[in-house]
Chain A
Amino acid sequence: MIRRVAQFFICIILAALLVACEDSTEQKTTPISVKLGVIGPFSGDNKEWGESGLQGVHTAVAYHEGRNRGLRVQLIQEDDQGNPAQAELALAKLAVQDQVDAILVLSGSKTMLTITAAAGRYKIPIVSTLSSHPEVANNDWVSQIIFDDRAQGMVAALFVMDELLVARAAVVWDGEDPHSTVLAESFIRTYQEAGGSVVSTDISARKDDYLKILDQLKKNDVEFVYLPVQVGHVVNFERGAREIGYHPQSMVSDGVLSQMMLEYADNLGLLEGMLATDIYTNEVPLSDFGKAVTTKFKKLFKVQGTTITGLGCEGTQVVLTAIEKCGKDPQNECINRMIRSGNEFEGILEPFIIDLNGKAERPAYINKIRNKRLRFLLKVN
Chain B
Amino acid sequence: MAEYVDSALFVYSEAGQIHLDDILANPHGCSISPVSINELRDNSASLLKDISHVVVAAELNIIKEILQYAIDFGCSVGFLPLDSQKALLRCYSIPKDRMEMISLALSAHPSELDIVYCNNQILLFKGVVGWVPLIDSQKTTGKIKILVDALQKMSSLYLLPFNISTLGKSQNKISTAACGCVILETPELSYASSMIGDDCSFEDSMVSTVVIAPFSIVDYIKLLWLRIFSDPASKRMPPSVGYIKTTEMLIEPSPQLDVVIDGERSTSTPAHVLVHPGAVKVNRGSPDKESKSKKVSGKEKLAVSSLPAGKELIKARHKRVPFFTYASEERFKDLFIALREDARLDSIYIVLMVLSTMLATVGLYLDSASVIIGAMLLAPLMAPIISLSMSTLRYDQRLLKQSLKKVVVGILVALGVAFLLAVLSPYQPLTGEMQGRLSPSILDLVVAIVAGVAGAYTKSYKEILQSLAGVAIAVALVPPLAVAGIGLGRFDLVFFINAFLLFATNLIGIVLAAIVTFRVLGYSPAVRDKRALSVVLGSLLFISIPLTLSFWGITNQANFEKSWKQERFLVNNKYLIVNDAKIITYQDRKILMVDLYAREPLDRKDLNEFKRKVQQNFADNLLIRIRITYIP
Contact = CB atoms under 8 A, between A and B. Distances in A.
Given A154-B573, A155-B575, A158-B575, A377 B599 contact: no
A85 interface: no
A163 interface: yes
Contacts of A363: 617
A261 interface: no
Interface residues of A, number: 18
A379 B597 contact: no
Contacts of B84: none
Interface in B484-519: none
A56 to B, nearest CB: 24
A160 B177 CA distance: 82
A380 B573 contact: no
B577 A162 contact: yes
Interface stretch (B455-463, B466-474, B561-569): B561-569
22 contacts: A154-B570, A154-B573, A154-B575, A158-B575, A158-B599, A159-B568, A162-B597, A162-B599, A194-B599, A363-B617, A364-B570, A366-B568, A376-B566, A378-B567, A380-B568, A380-B569, A380-B570, A381-B567, A381-B568, A381-B569, A381-B613, A381-B614
A274 interface: no
Interface of B: 566-570, 573, 575, 577, 597, 599, 613-614, 617, 631
B575 A162 contact: yes
Nearest to A363: B617
Given A154-B575, A158-B575, A350-B617, A381 B599 contact: no
A124 B538 CA distance: 66
A150 to B, nearest CB: 8
Given A162-B597, A162-B631, A377 B577 contact: no
Contact of B570 (A194, A350, A376, A381): A381
Contacts of A366: 568
A352 to B, nearest CB: 10
Main secondary structure of the interface of A (DSSP, over half): mixed
Interface string A120-143: 000000000000000000000000
Contacts of B613: 381
Contacts of A154: 570, 573, 575
Contacts, number: 42
A159 B617 CA distance: 21
B437 to A, nearest CB: 34
A378 B575 CA distance: 13
A151 interface: yes
B611 to A, nearest CB: 12
Interface string A139-167: 00000000000010011001100110000
Interface string A320-333: 00000000000000
Q: Which of B566, B613, B614 has the most CB of A within 10 A?
A: B566
A302 B173 CA distance: 86
Interface in A335-381: 350, 363-364, 366, 376-381
A151 B573 CA distance: 7
Nearest to B577: A162
A154 B574 CA distance: 9
Interface string A265-298: 0000000000000000000000000000000000
Nearest to B599: A194
A346 to B, nearest CB: 14
B567 A379 contact: yes
B375 to A, nearest CB: 45
Ordered nearest first, which 7 A-B pairs have the shortest CB separation? A158-B575, A380-B568, A381-B613, A381-B569, A378-B566, A378-B568, A380-B570
A376 B631 CA distance: 25
